[in-house]
Amino acid sequence: MNLKELKNRIILMFGKNRAFSSDEFESQMKFHKISVVREYSDDAVAVVEGRMMTPSEQNKSEVLYTQNYKKLEFVSIDVLEKELAKYIDADTLLMSLKLSHDKKRLKSFIQNSMLNDELFLKLLKMYSWSGEDFFENDDNRDVSAAFILRFYENIERNHNVQYATTGILHLVTQTKSTQLLKAISLLEPIKFHPKIECAIAMSLQCDEEMQERFFKKSKNQKILEALSLNENLKPTLIEEFLKDDKLGTNVAKSIKLTDELFELCKNQKIGLALNETLSLGMQEELLGLGDDEISYALALNDNINPKILNSLLQSTNKNIVSSIYSNKATPVEILEEAYKNSEYYEELAKNENTPIEILYQLQLDRRYERSVKTNAGFGKHIQQNNIGWEV
């Protein structure tokens, strides 16, 4: 369908419009100089099948298709509205809405699924939440639902999330878009939800601008802690957080390490030992310090180098050795050897890299049954093999 070809022409429409409000649809038709009729006319060039067509309208459409299909173009309302959305001048629309302060019209455009994401986010920025939460009044609820519906992955599997604050939280954890994350971070009702702010602060898509904003305005220690766990943390903030013991430990274990950052974080050796981006050389340096607390942290590191792992296995510290047996990075042959010693059964029951045959044996013992059933590796095995399991 080409709107330019429909200029000064007549279309027959059955049913109702979908994405555009009734007033906006009528306004768009007038703007494009397209006449809309509800009864057949010999001058009609197209038939638009809208939503909620009555049985009578469906019958009329079928008759027209059979008798006049060579003359008339049959299209769905979605096709027509998609074409209308293409011709909307964003700047003109935004200025019109700004000058008119027409909240009802603004909301109708926000709910219009045919608009592109860029325009949608600009419209959303104009919306006033009136100091209330996402779902605290009808207008806010409708806008929040439209926002979640537009960006939520696989919304068809979880329709209820469209009307819940958890939907916003899920968007934060799902998105790979810095632009979308920034839009969420600027939504006024976010102030009521520190948990969502924490999720944003930790996100890999949280850019330096957002990080700085969270750092400067936040009086909430939990948000600062979340920000300190961001592996892409801004260099100046790394230095700030390293002044604090707890936040510094978070930084040292979370950031993507370079030789320079490794040197910068050396006062936080426990945190560094837990960092999964440690190179072999860095691990060797930490192990060489001969400190049991640092070695214990290395033993917990899921990205521990096999060379370091084998060295730690020689430790006389039972906590260090036990941690090796609960570490999913530990090779299967080492875990099989550990199974010969019942002292390490609890660690083996928790380790998702423990061979399934051993986990089946361990779950027969009530002491380890719960650990096996909550073991991610065991759960994956059950799902892949479609085995019924009562937890």
Q: Provide the pLDDT confidence category of residue 66 given band limits of 50, 70 and 90.
A: confident
Strands (DSSP E) contained in the chain are: 10-14, 35-37, 44-49, 73-76
Q: Residue 179 CA to chain centroid, in angstroms? A: 13
Q: What is the mean pLDDT of residues 125-149?
A: 96
Contact 122, 92 (CB under 8 A): no
Picking from 66, 74, 23, the residue whose alpha carbon sits closest to that of residue 45 is 74
Contact 35, 12 (CB under 8 A): no
How does pLDDT run across 252-306, given as a tens digit for each residue? 999 999 999 999 999 999 999 999 999 999 999 999 999 999 999 999 999 999 9
The Cβ of residue 249 has, within 10 Å, a number of other Cβ atoms equal to 21
Say yes or no to pLDDT of 202 above 80: yes
The token pair at 118 is 């860029």
Picking from 72, 81, 52, 79, the residue whose alpha carbon sits closest to that of residue 62 is 72
Q: What is the mean pLDDT of residues 201-210?
A: 96
Looking at residue 384, what is its pLDDT? 84
How does pLDDT run across 353-379, given as a tens digit for each residue? 999 999 999 999 999 999 999 999 999
Kindly list the domain boundaries of the chain, sorted by start residue.
3-86
CATH class of 3-86: alpha beta
Q: Provide the pLDDT confidence category of residue 386 given band limits of 50, 70 and 90.
A: low
Does the pTM surpass 0.85? The reply is no
Contact 294, 304 (CB under 8 A): no
